[in-house]
Structure formats: C-alpha cells, structure tokens
C-alpha cells in the first residue's frame, strides 16, 4: 500500500520560525516571498501593509480550520508550529482522534496526558499561541512591529465568532445571540456530565420535529 499526503504545499508556521530564531533574516524574506508568490498571489508583501494583510488571512483560515475541528469533535493532538499549515489545512496529525463521550479535556496524545495542552477544549487557544509565534517570526521584516498585535487580537475575535457560528449551526439557531450563550454553556456542561456521545447526540437532535408554534 502507498499512503500519500496531498496539499498545495507543506509550508508550516515553523518553516518561518526556524529562520527567524536562527537569525537568517534574508532566508526568511526569501521564504515569505516564495510562499506568497506561489500560494497567496493576491498579496504583495513588499510593504508592511502587504505583510499584515497576508498574515491576517492566515490567521483567519487558521481560526476557521480549528472551528471545523471543534464542530466535529476532532482533536489534533500535537499542535506545535511545525504541524500548523500556512494554508489553514489539517496536516501532520499523529495521535489524533474524535470525541466520543463529550469531554473538553480529552486528548488522544498519551504523551500530553499530564498537561493536556492539546486537549479538545484548548485548541482555539493553542491556535492563538501558534499564530503569535508566526507573527513573531515576521518581526524582522517589518518597519513597525507594533502592527503585529492587532493581527493576533483579530484572530481571537475571529475564532470566537467562528465558534459561535458553529454552535448556532449545530443547534439550528441561525445566529447565536448573546442571550443564547447560557443555553450553549448549559448544554456543554450537560454533555460533559453525562458523557454523551457528541456525534450521536447532534445526529439525534436533527431528527427532532419542530413543534407547531403557529
């Protein structure tokens, strides 16, 4: 048997981080230029504005990817920078798994059993950590490094909104209002307390007939 991995590229956050940490700033610039020219042609990274616009897109696609993980109960298991795709794709998952009994603290990675850094419920926050490392890697290429923090702030807001949209879709709410948040929190608490299978629960939820409220 032959197993092949397919992706537009296997450039990861760590691909940039290693050159920055080694002080190879010209190599870093070459890699950024190559990446954007071949994979993000709508961006021009010759200016601070262009770099920030590109990084913002990467932050958004990363947040969207993780929101989809959370939607289906997928746990990556090893979310370090060399496993985070610049394309916002799920790659290099080794000890991955899916939630069965709903447990926000569950991880399939036995080597992470003590700290549970990469547990299901922590994945959006680890995404932020990874985005922060990518942003730090770009500091040598910017005239104004102060523009990096707003990109991280944007990731946090974007990730929160993506997660809210996910729960709204799964619960058939259309849009998750602020007043709906206690409902979602109570549901997640109940799912965890009763160890309900996440997939089966939402599958059965879809089969409930909407009451006639006319």
Instruction: Indicate if the pLDDT at residue 214 is higher than 70.
Output: no
Q: pLDDT tens digit string along 1-13?
A: 787 888 999 999 9
Residue 207 has pLDDT above 90, yes or no: no
Start-end of H helices in 40-146: 48-72, 123-137
What is the CA 128 to chain-centroid distance, rounded?
A: 8
Average pLDDT over residues 161-185: 87
Q: Which member of 82, 105, 153, 186 is catalytic?
A: 82
Please identify which residue in the block is written with the tokens 């909407």.
210
pLDDT at 183: 86
| Contact present, 86 and 59 (Cβ < 8 Å) | no
Q: DSSP assignment, residue 109?
A: -
pLDDT higher than threshold 80 for residue 189: yes
**Residue whose tokens read 């929101």:** 67
How confident is the prediction for the chain on average, in pLDDT?
Answer: 93
- Across 129-139, average pLDDT: 98
Check pLDDT > 90 for residue 209.
Answer: no
Structure confidence at residue 212 as a pLDDT band (50, 70, 90)? low
Rounded Cα–Cα distance for residues 204 and 90 (Å) = 28
* pLDDT score, position 21: 93
Is the pTM for the entire model greater than 0.75? yes
DSSP designation for 138: T
157 is written with which tokens?
Answer: 């807001």
Helix locations, the chain, DSSP H:
13-21, 25-39, 48-72, 123-137, 148-171, 181-194, 198-206
Look at residue 91 in the predicted model and tell me its pLDDT: 86
* 82 given a catalytic annotation: yes
Residue 101's SS3 state is strand
User: Residue 179 contacts by C-beta under 8 Å, 6 or more apart in sequence?
Assistant: none
Q: What is the pLDDT at residue 206?
A: 84
Q: How many residues does the chain have?
A: 214
Bridge partners (DSSP) of residue 74 are 98
pLDDT single digits (tens) 88-101: 999 876 789 999 99
> Which DSSP helix (H) or strand (E) runs through 190?
helix 181-194
Residue 93 is predicted with a pLDDT of 67
Q: Is the pLDDT of residue 213 over 80?
A: no
């Amino acid at each position: 048997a032959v197993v092949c991995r397919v992706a537009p590229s296997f450039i990861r956050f760590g691909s940039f981080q290693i050159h920055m940490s080694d002080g190879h700033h010209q190599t870093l610039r070459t890699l950024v230029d190559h990446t954007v020219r071949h994979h993000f042609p709508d961006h021009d990274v010759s200016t601070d504005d262009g770099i920030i616009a590109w990084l913002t897109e990467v932050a958004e696609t990363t947040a969207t990817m993780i929101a989809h993980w959370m939607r289906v109960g997928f746990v990556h298991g090893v979310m370090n920078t060399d496993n985070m795709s610049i394309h916002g794709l799920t790659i290099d998952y080794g000890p991955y798994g899916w939630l069965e009994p709903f447990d926000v603290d569950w991880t399939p990675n036995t080597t992470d059993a003590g700290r549970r850094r990469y547990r299901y419920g922590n994945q959006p926050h680890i995404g932020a950590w990874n985005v922060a490392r990518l942003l730090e890697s770009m500091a040598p290429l910017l005239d104004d490094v102060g523009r990096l923090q707003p990109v991280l702030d944007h990731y946090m807001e974007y990730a929160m909104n993506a997660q809210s949209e996910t729960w709204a879709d799964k619960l058939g709410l259309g849009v998750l209002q602020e007043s709906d948040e206690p409902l979602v929190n109570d549901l997640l608490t109940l799912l965890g307390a009763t160890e309900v299978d996440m997939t089966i629960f939402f599958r059965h939820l879809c089969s409930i007939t909407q009451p006639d409220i006319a």
